[in-house]
Amino acid sequence: MKELKLMKGNEALAEAAIRAGCDAYFGYPITPQSEVLEYLAKEAYARTGMVVLQAESEIASINMIYGAAGTGKKVMTSSSSPGISLMQEGISYIACAELPCLIVNVVRAGPGLGTIQPAQSDYFQAVKGGGHGDYKLIVLAPSTIQEMVDHTKLGFELAFKWRNPVMILTDGALGQMMEKVELFPQTERKFELLPWATTGKTKDRGRSIITSLYIQPEVMQEKNLHLQKKYKSIEREEIRFEKYKCDDAEVVLLAFGLVARICKKAADLAREKGIKAGVFRPITLFPFPYEEVNTLADSSRIFLTVEMNAGQMLEDIRLAVNGKIQVDFTGRMGGIIPTPEEILEKIIEINEGVPA
Amino acid sequence: MNERRMLDDSHYENLIEEESVCINENLVYDKPETLTKTPMHYCPGCGHGVAHRLIAEVIDELGIQEKTIGVAPVGCAVFAYNYFNVDMSEAAHGRASAVATGIKRVLPDRYVFSYQGDGDLAAIGTGETIHTCNRGENILIIFINNGIYGMTGGQMAPTTLEGMKTTTTPFGRDVQAMGYPLKITELIAQLPGVYYCSRVAVNTPVHVRKAKKAIYNGFKFQELNKGVSFVEIVTNCPSNWKMTPVESNKWLEEHMLPFYPLGDLKLPGKEN
């Protein structure tokens, strides 16, 4: 029987982490994601024995993740934008040491201390590598509370499949709002001794060393080539996206996360006005569906990217389209969520300006 | 970086096997099982080598090699994982105690130690150090204090003595401008999460024996699950102090130890 619940995004994500068999959570309070830590502190240990620890800072959290992930356990942290900025050094280390873990960014508007309202302005940071060096996170962008749940489970699977940190890039609105979710059953926590993990050197294997230090340039280059090869494989195998009424669409709205839902409404409104509109939603932001966006440009007249930032995914859309058609942008910043009506206005304005 | 430093263990194993004169009949002193055969990169006369050996001897004597996980710092001991024959994690600068926390929390039955220098533990990592100790994580923190940044070439450390010359205090540490040498071990000893806190040195045979006892305690106490064991080892840095090893050990005795006095700062069962 389906287990349906009305849940807040942050709490649903925390519940999903427990059910996914997460071994440990290390985190630090920050609005608008503190409910993740609060929910886990209340629920997790009693139910599964999961470790939940409030660290003294995000810097400490991510380094606890580094240590714990190095043992092969299923570990996660969550934060919001300024806190994720603090974690970037550690994330770079984790990516280089190839440790599986789940990092959740419930984005709030920046820059600086910014505001506690929702935004998508950490796209570059998440997708282009927010820390130093050439590395990639696998980035999942849920657009519903259901996906907050499903991506938590998927995130752990991908993290271990690729030995790579996975980030869920969501926002303050999805974190705070309530929706109906279907929960998956409890997965039993199992501890598997992984050959690369620091669990204690036994007679049957050499030492496990978790490090990101390769001081000889030739060896460091080798490491980089290996990482790049892995990222290419991820690009081949893990691209996920959703198309909404794209088959006959002349105007395609391109958006991720929460904004994609608003765009669906805007596309419906446009269709009522006789404009054939659709929505393309990347679910994985890395790997990014470049090819699919490029192909879609062949059958469309207008691309309109909509984001809660100054136009960040827009750059990837333009790279994908490679000049085939015009790519417009509309968005809101500072914690304001765009309305379907204002997106519709923009659609009408562009539609009139671009010849058929 | 000298290429010789970076060759892996197997290279040296073969080398030593071929040229070995240490046949069993003659053997009175050998490397502990918990040290690899990789020659250390530390400068001649540096205290790191002795400190490493003591840790390895203790792990051997306790028979806990298979259950021990070490955390290396950033600093001269950044390559510590090349020398300790146990599972090791290389932490970001200053974060070793947070990394050790992560390991110990998910593997509470393992022995976990961090090995950190003064810049790592008492400057950039002060927050992690204090809070790890305050949470009473059941780990051993080894703190190597030589009053200077070794790996980056002799800059001022938080523990640099007043008036001491370094490359960033060329006229001597002026405490009015640069602050005072930080006695972090005294701070640590105040915290209820700390079960055992001791300051030792490795500049004389007597001090080496006492240091080993302190390290032994630090590992052994983890079995009690009572909190942090913190062992400061006051050491020398001949290269950056610009002294011979003998001179540096004498200077340590005359200048470092009066300011950083040796002994137990916190003993289980005795409130200081």
DSSP string computed for A83-118: HHHHHHHHHHHHHHHT--EEEEEEEB--STT--SSB
Cα distance between residue B142 and residue B121, in whole Å: 10
CB contact under 8 A, B102 and A75: yes
**Among candidate residues A106, A76, A74, the one with its CA nearest the CA of residue A91:** A76
pLDDT over 70 for what percent of chain A? 99
Helix, strand, coil shares of chain A, percent, nearest 5, are: 45, 20, 35
User: How far is the alpha carbon of B98 from chain A, nearest alpha carbon, in Å?
Assistant: 5
User: Do residues A232 and A295 share a domain?
Assistant: no
Q: What is the pLDDT of residue B25?
A: 75
Confidence of residue A356 (pLDDT cuts 50, 70, 90): low
Confidence of residue B24 (pLDDT cuts 50, 70, 90): confident
Residue B32 counted as domain residue: no
CB contact under 8 A, A209 and B106: no
Q: Report the CATH number at residue A107.
A: 3.40.50.970
User: Do residues A221 and A247 share a domain?
Assistant: no
Nearest residue, CB atoms, B88 vs list A68, A93, A198: A198
Mean pLDDT across chain B: 92
Residue A77 belongs to what domain range? 3-237
- Tens digits of residue pLDDT in A272-303: 999 999 999 999 999 999 999 999 999 999 99
User: Do residues A230 and A250 share a domain?
Assistant: no
- Centre a 10 Å sphere on the Cβ of residue B25 and count the other Cβ atoms it contains: 5
CB contact under 8 A, B106 and A68: yes
Q: Give phi and psi for B32, each to the nearest 5.
A: -60, 155
Cα distance between residue B260 and residue B272, in whole Å: 17
- A251 within 8 A of A350, measured Cβ to Cβ: yes
Q: What is the pLDDT of residue B3?
A: 42
Residue where one domain finishes, among candidates A237, A272, A288: A237
> B29-57: b or e for each residue (b if 16 or more CB lie within 10 Å)?
eebbebbbbbebbbbebbbbbbbbbbbbb
Cα distance between residue A160 and residue A164, in whole Å: 7
User: Do residues A150 and A233 share a domain?
Assistant: yes
CB contact under 8 A, A70 and B92: no
B72 CB neighbours in chain A (<8 A) are 211
- B51 within 8 A of B202, measured Cβ to Cβ: yes
pLDDT over 70 for what percent of chain B? 90
- Centre a 10 Å sphere on the Cβ of residue B170 and count the other Cβ atoms it contains: 8
HSE-CB at A148 with a 13 A cutoff on CA atoms is 30
Mean pLDDT across chain A: 97
Bridge pairing between strands A327-331 and A3-8: unpaired
Q: Which of A63, A65, A77 to mutate to test the interface with B (most CBs of B within 10 A)?
A: A63
Nearest residue, CB atoms, B106 vs list A71, A90, A207: A71
Q: What is the pLDDT of residue A113?
A: 97
The two tokens of residue B89 are 């994690």
Q: Tally the domains of chain B.
A: 1
Residue B212 counted as domain residue: yes
Residue B39 counted as domain residue: no
Q: Report the CATH number at residue B66.
A: 3.40.50.970
Q: What is the pLDDT of residue B4?
A: 42
Q: Going by C-beta distance under 8 Å and a sequence separation of 6 or more, which residues neighbour residue A332?
A: A308, A338
With an 8 Å Cβ cutoff, the interface of chain A facing chain B consists of 23-24, 26, 51, 53, 55-57, 59-60, 63-71, 73, 75, 89-90, 93, 97, 197-203, 207-213, 215-216, 219
Q: Which of A209, A212, A218 to mutate to test the interface with B (most CBs of B within 10 A)?
A: A209
Cα-based distances in Å from B128 to B20, B160, B250: 44, 21, 33
CB contact under 8 A, A23 and B106: yes
Comparing A117-121, A205-209, A315-319, B139-143, which segment has the lowest mean pLDDT? A205-209
- Tens digits of residue pLDDT in A216-226: 999 999 999 99
**Among candidate residues B206, B230, B226, B208, the one with its CA nearest the CA of residue B218:** B230
User: Do residues A77 and A52 share a domain?
Assistant: yes
User: Do residues A97 and A228 share a domain?
Assistant: yes
Residue B25 counted as domain residue: no
CB contact under 8 A, B98 and A63: yes
- B264 within 8 A of B198, measured Cβ to Cβ: yes
Mean pLDDT of B11-30: 63
User: Do residues A25 and A116 share a domain?
Assistant: yes
CB contact under 8 A, A51 and B106: yes
Residue B12 counted as domain residue: no
Contacts by residues A82-87 (CB-CB < 8 Å, ≥ 24 positions apart): A82/A30, A82/A108, A82/A110, A82/A112, A82/A113, A82/A114, A83/A28, A83/A30, A83/A58, A84/A58, A84/A122, A84/A125, A84/A130, A85/A125, A85/A130, A86/A57, A86/A58, A86/A59, A86/A62, A87/A58, A87/A59, A87/A61, A87/A62
User: Do residues A189 and A273 share a domain?
Assistant: no
Residue written as token pair 């207008």: A302
Nearest residue, CB atoms, B87 vs list A23, A69, A207: A207
Residue where one domain finishes, among candidates A237, A268, A292: A237
- Tens digits of residue pLDDT in B140-188: 999 999 999 999 999 999 999 999 999 999 999 999 999 999 999 999 9
Q: What is the pLDDT of residue A324?
A: 96
Sign of the alpha-carbon torsion through A59, A64, A67, A73: negative
Confidence of residue B2 (pLDDT cuts 50, 70, 90): very low
User: Do residues A253 and A279 share a domain?
Assistant: yes
- A106 within 8 A of A37, measured Cβ to Cβ: no
User: Do residues A91 and A183 share a domain?
Assistant: yes
- B42 within 8 A of B235, measured Cβ to Cβ: no
- Tens digits of residue pLDDT in B52-68: 999 999 999 999 999 99
pLDDT of B272 above 80: no
Confidence of residue B5 (pLDDT cuts 50, 70, 90): very low
User: Do residues A216 and A254 share a domain?
Assistant: no
Mean pLDDT of A325-344: 97
Mean pLDDT of A233-254: 98
Q: What is the pLDDT of residue A99?
A: 98
- B80 within 8 A of B92, measured Cβ to Cβ: no
Residue where one domain finishes, among candidates A237, A264, A296: A237
CB contact under 8 A, A211 and B89: yes
Q: Tally the domains of chain A.
A: 2
Confidence of residue B8 (pLDDT cuts 50, 70, 90): low
Q: Report the CATH number at residue A274.
A: 3.40.50.920
Residue B24 counted as domain residue: no
Q: Going by C-beta distance under 8 Å and a sequence separation of 6 or more, which residues neighbour residue B58?
A: B212, B215, B216, B219
CB contact under 8 A, A68 and B110: no
- Tens digits of residue pLDDT in A124-176: 999 998 999 999 999 999 999 999 999 999 999 999 999 999 999 999 999 99
User: How far is the alpha carbon of B199 from chain A, nearest alpha carbon, in Å?
Assistant: 26
**Among candidate residues B4, B80, B26, the one with its CA nearest the CA of residue B48:** B80
DSSP assignment of B25-62, as one string?
A: GG-S----TTB-SSPP-SPTT-HHHHHHHHHHHHHHHH
The two tokens of residue A294 are 């490029």
User: How far is the alpha carbon of A96 from chain B, nearest alpha carbon, in Å?
Assistant: 12
Residue B206 counted as domain residue: yes
User: How far is the alpha carbon of A328 from chain B, nearest alpha carbon, in Å?
Assistant: 42
Cα distance between residue B159 and residue B148, in whole Å: 7
Q: How far is CA A114 from the centre of its chain?
A: 20
pLDDT of B20 above 80: no
- B95 within 8 A of B76, measured Cβ to Cβ: no
pLDDT of B17 above 60: no
> Which residue of chain B comes nearest to A52, CA vs CA?
B105
- A227 within 8 A of A134, measured Cβ to Cβ: yes
Residue B96 belongs to what domain range? 46-266
- Tens digits of residue pLDDT in A43-68: 999 999 999 999 999 999 999 999 99
User: Do residues A146 and A215 share a domain?
Assistant: yes
ipTM of the prediction: 0.96
HSE-CB at A173 with a 13 A cutoff on CA atoms is 17
Nearest residue, CB atoms, B107 vs list A56, A66, A71: A71
With an 8 Å Cβ cutoff, the interface of chain B facing chain A consists of 1, 3, 6, 65-69, 71-72, 78-79, 81, 85-92, 95, 98-103, 105-107, 110, 127-128, 131
SS3 call for B130: helix
Residue B33 counted as domain residue: no
